[in-house]
Structure 1
Amino acid sequence: MTENPDQQTDSSTRAHVPLRTVAGRYALLEELGRGGMGLVWRGEDTVIGRHVAVKELRLPDGAEDAGVFSERILREVRTGGRLNDPAVVTVFDVVADGDATFIVMELVEAPTLSDLVDRRGPLPVHEVARIGDQVLSALEAAHRAGIVHRDVKPGNIMVAPNGRVKLTDFGIAQAVDDPRITTSGMLVGSPAFMAPERVAGQEALAASDLWSLGATLYFAAEGALPFQRSTTAATLHAIMHEMPSLARAHGPLASAIMGLLSAAPEARVPAGQARGLLTAAAQPGVAQPGPQTPPGGDAQATAVHEGGPPTLAAAQGAGARPVPRGRRRLLLAGGAVAAVALLVGGFFAGKPFWGPATDDAMAETLTYGRGGDIESYSLDTGSDYCVNTPLAAGRALASSNWVDCEDEAHDAQLFEVAAAAPESRDSDAAAATYPGQDRLRAFAEAKCTATFHTNRVDDEARPALRFLALVPTEAAWNREPADEYASPVRNVLCFLIPGEGGRLEGSATRNIS
């Protein structure tokens, strides 16, 4: 059926007839969308003749006086409007008209990240990393200005066809986050993207925005929400007590996502380190260690497994069950060390993606097993995590050398263990190919470096300490387990040692519940 030309003209004309005019200046032409806080209009600034986006905010019933609400919106959004970053949607004006407040913003003709994933499904790793890098830039600019976004989510990120990204709604979540609103039943921010500390009722921090960015990048890479459950209460419970696994993301992008999703704000990967990971992941021409060719076998997703060290988990698909946080061991205690769940695939590319390339506190890496620096070894630590013998080439590490850190002086303290291959007795795990010394060292040194700089190590003790990595030789890697029910031991170990000689007294690590 062919459309009548006259009808087409009338329709086009009607599209430009203002539905209403706000503050005598901004003509509202058509509705672009709506959400919990109000509507978004395509508008025109009649004074200078440019098209703008106009967000109409309405006060939730029973929240507070409309005049107070308008003043708070005006103050906070104008603060956000001073931000100067290419990835920040520019705020032109904030006006009150009737019982509503209107925010006049730059009009960006682009789909949101949420729309993009709904239409295309999970995005390629390098594309997700580039989007994340730009959003991170906007957040860093805000945090330097003392502004916390509070509602970072795919629906607030617009992605243009040329790859340019814009983050919107700066200041709005800050302006409406008031106890009088919260107690009236309104949960400020999107529950699925709300950081654990905010769920627990604490003040939003810059690190809270980073957690939300991690959840957003998970959604973009996996095509699913990391903590979404059937009810809001179940979603909030998952945020507080579970850690999702990754089925599609890999390499430095996976490291960035899992580091940003650490439950403890102080252990969350900082913005600078996240930028390094995202920059590495954003290069499509650079080989990205991924699910097809992990060094330890055919595993494709890496999960933070809090019943033991980070491991390569078997392929699970986009709907993989999250790994509960309930089972804890000494070496992976709560969210603090979840931040250093440096995914194995991210390091076997030959260089560490997280943490400094070199670290003055790092001692020479040693090998254990036949043909290595420590040929005779026992890693059956039981409940004791310190050793009463120096770790050096030519030394032995017997079961009798493992002591309780609090009972006697010691030469080294074990503070992290990371599995370099799947902990499974299936044929793939048993046949895992030895990845070689260079790749094992790169993984171990990056892992130990990252953990050393988290709150796993006591802040007061750290300046007087150094650390070293211990990695298996090929013989140790291929050594048959003690019995048919055990898994091959293919771990790298991280030890604290005295910085200026002497011995250590007591424990230099923190057990974080």
Structure 2
Amino acid sequence: MTENPEQQTDSSTRAHAPLRTVAGRYALLEELGRGGMGVVWRGEDTVIGRHVAVKELRLPDGAEDAGVFSERILREVRTGGRLNDPAVVTVFDVVADGDATFIVMELVEAPTLSDLVDRRGPLPAHEVARIGEQVLSALEAAHRAGIVHRDVKPGNIMVAPNGRVKLTDFGIAQAVDDPRITTSGMLVGSPAFMAPERVAGQEALAASDLWSLGATLYFAAEGALPFQRSTTAATLHAIMHEMPPLARAHGPLASAIMGMLTTAPEARIPAGQARGLLTAAAQPGVAQPGPQTPPGGDVGATAVHHGGAPTQATPSGAGRAPVSRIRRRLLTVGGAVAAVALLVGGFFAGKPFWGPATDDAMAETLTYGRGGDIANYEFDGSSYYCVNTPLAAGRALASSNWVDCEDEAHDAQLYDVSAAVPESSDSDAAAATYPGEQRLRTFAEAQCAATFHTNRVRDDARPNLRFLALVPTEAEWDRRPSDDYASPVRSVLCFLVPAEGGRLEGSATRGVV
């Protein structure tokens, strides 16, 4: 099956005799489904005796040029023939018979992801992540071949009972190195899963497929379409200007989904980082902490977003971490507030979720604590998140340096603090061994980069800012807090600093800080 069926034929009605034979070779046995691009049949290749899926393609309503349509058909065959990945449906043949064109391909007898969610509701996080891993593998194979799928959606993902996944329908895929082929009056792709840059009329990119995958995994995890509205126009507006809240997905799965749903393609999480997060989330035993509040903000303000203020589709309290849990995490690192923020960190067996971050807005990463770049790091426990001294090697950060962001000019603003160990229990955190400075730097830089490109940082302020990560030294990692009942706090800190010198005025983040 290679297309999302709009109608299903009951298996009891299957015909034993061929309804007709195509090109003298492919016997059509029964109709499996119908979609916008034609009819899908169960067929039999009478030459080698195997069952196949046969897609009978028809000229779409509104198409003016049969030649363009035929070229799309040939492109699908070329696309399928160039890809070699277990999660890609194999194309065997293409034949013309009368006025119709038929594509013969691997028969996958499995429900679509759309069918699965309709039947079961939201899927468990590890199951969603495993589906995402396989689809991402197929997309990476396509992108390496210079091919953009352009229609990643739940109806084009087949999920077998053993968990094997197949991505179908490269029929509207566009080879990056081919001339663009368009059909007058046609909107190629499914609006509810169409990336913002495509809505804006730009070319489809590899990053566009990642955005569609993020919307697809949101649907699988939450059981609802993230941007679907009552009209196509409203749906497209939501894609451009709104961010759906996550109520069920947490931890690395939430980070992967929201990273892929970043509106600006250049700031969207790359495939390698998404794969790392999905791999972490695919382990059933891995804790999936709920969304938690960043310093001075709220959960809604941490959604990855590059448009206006996000529109909340759930009650304001949905998905928030218990207040007592948040307060319990307000411990001190040499007095520093260590509130846990959006992207749950953790090395889980000493492995970071993602590779090294590369971002032009990133300033030099520094260490804090005994033996570090900022050896004397203090915080007075107040609600201030801005500092009136430059963050640089050899400088000290005393409690008196923390100031109200709105009251006076400052040199840096704390915008994210994230735990570098799993949040499963205090005992686990206490037992965590120092992962090494390079691993901490890798994690911190990716963490700070991801949050820097969310709507935690004001869009109008971001162009004039850089971000700087602080990571603990080994001595700071192992140092126990003064409270004997508290576990060591192993956190990375993210600061906003001026991009071209000078000082900052006011808060550069959303929410009260």
TM-score normalized with structure 1 length: 0.69
Query: What residue is the counterpart of 2:224 in the other structure?
Result: 224
Equivalent positions of 1:409-424 (< 5 A) are 413-414=412-413, 417-418=415-416
Query: What residue is the counterpart of 2:378 in the other structure?
Result: 374
Note the C-alpha offset of 1:27.
1.6
SS of 1:16's equivalent in the other structure is: coil
* Equivalent residues of 1:342, 1:447 under 8 A apart: no
* 2:90 equivalent to 1:90: yes
Equivalent positions of 1:20-99 (< 5 A) are 20-99=20-99
For 1:78-116, what per-residue CA distance to the aligned partner results, in whole angstroms no more than 9, with x for missing partners? 233221001110011122233332211100111111111
Note the C-alpha offset of 1:38.
1.2
SS of 2:278's equivalent in the other structure is: helix
* 2:448 equivalent to 1:451: yes
Query: What residue is the counterpart of 1:362 in the other structure?
Result: 365
Query: What residue is the counterpart of 2:145 in the other structure?
Result: 145
Q: From the superposition, tell whether residues 192 and 386 of structure 1 become closer, same or farther in structure 2 (CA, over 3 Å).
A: farther
Cα distance in 1 between the residues matched to 2:118 and 2:128: 14
* Equivalent residues of 2:52, 2:105 under 8 A apart: yes
Q: From the superposition, tell whether residues 187 and 121 of structure 1 become closer, same or farther in structure 2 (CA, over 3 Å).
A: same
Cα distance in 1 between the residues matched to 2:366 and 2:346: 19
Query: What residue is the counterpart of 1:316 in the other structure?
Result: 318
Note the C-alpha offset of 1:467.
3.7
* 2:202 equivalent to 1:202: yes
Cα distance in 1 between the residues matched to 2:227 and 2:99: 36
For 1:243-281, what per-residue CA distance to the aligned partner results, in whole angstroms no more than 9, with x for missing partners? 111111111111111111110111111111111111111
Equivalent positions of 1:144-293 (< 5 A) are 144-174=144-174, 180-181=182-183, 183-184=184-185, 186-285=186-285, 287-291=286-290
Please tell me the residue identity of whatever aligns with 1:343. L
* Equivalent residues of 2:448, 2:469 under 8 A apart: no
SS of 2:174's equivalent in the other structure is: helix
Please tell me the residue identity of whatever aligns with 1:364. T
Equivalent positions of 1:316-355 (< 5 A) are 316=318, 343-345=342-344, 347=346, 353-355=352-354
Percent of counterpart pairs with the same letter?
65
Cα distance in 1 between the residues matched to 2:206 and 2:503: 31
Equivalent positions of 1:3-22 (< 5 A) are 15-22=15-22
Cα distance in 2 between the residues matched to 1:143 and 1:133: 15
SS of 1:364's equivalent in the other structure is: strand
Please tell me the residue identity of whatever aligns with 1:273. Q
Note the C-alpha offset of 1:202.
0.6
* Equivalent residues of 2:368, 2:376 under 8 A apart: no
* Equivalent residues of 1:150, 1:174 under 8 A apart: yes
Alignment RMSD (CA, Å): 5.1
* Equivalent residues of 1:354, 1:450 under 8 A apart: no
Query: What residue is the counterpart of 2:470 in the other structure?
Result: 468
Cα distance in 2 between the residues matched to 1:399 and 1:417: 16
Note the C-alpha offset of 1:289.
2.8
For 1:485-506, what per-residue CA distance to the aligned partner results, in whole angstroms no more than 9, with x for missing partners? xxxxxx97423789xxxx9735
For 1:366-418, what per-residue CA distance to the aligned partner results, in whole angstroms no more than 9, with x for missing partners? 59xxx972245887578xx87446476753265698999xx9xx9x644x612
Cα distance in 2 between the residues matched to 1:43 and 1:444: 55
TM-score normalized with structure 2 length: 0.69
Q: From the superposition, tell whether residues 201 and 497 of structure 1 become closer, same or farther in structure 2 (CA, over 3 Å).
A: closer
Please tell me the residue identity of whatever aligns with 1:396. A
Cα distance in 2 between the residues matched to 1:302 and 1:288: 23
Equivalenced residues, count: 430
For 1:40-79, what per-residue CA distance to the aligned partner results, in whole angstroms no more than 9, with x for missing partners? 1111112222111111221123423323421332134323
Note the C-alpha offset of 1:124.
0.8
For 1:225-247, what per-residue CA distance to the aligned partner results, in whole angstroms no more than 9, with x for missing partners? 11111111111111110111111
For 1:310-365, what per-residue CA distance to the aligned partner results, in whole angstroms no more than 9, with x for missing partners? xxx975279xxxxxxxxxxxxxxxxxxxxxx9734454979785433799953214
Cα distance in 2 between the residues matched to 1:253 and 1:141: 22
Cα distance in 2 between the residues matched to 1:403 and 1:116: 49
Equivalent positions of 1:105-124 (< 5 A) are 105-124=105-124
SS of 1:15's equivalent in the other structure is: coil
Cα distance in 2 between the residues matched to 1:399 and 1:505: 18
Q: From the superposition, tell whether residues 386 and 259 of structure 1 become closer, same or farther in structure 2 (CA, over 3 Å).
A: farther
* 2:398 equivalent to 1:396: yes
Unpaired segments ≥5 residues, structure 1:
1-10, 319-340, 422-432, 477-490
Please tell me the residue identity of whatever aligns with 2:501. E
Note the C-alpha offset of 1:195.
0.6
Note the C-alpha offset of 1:295.
12
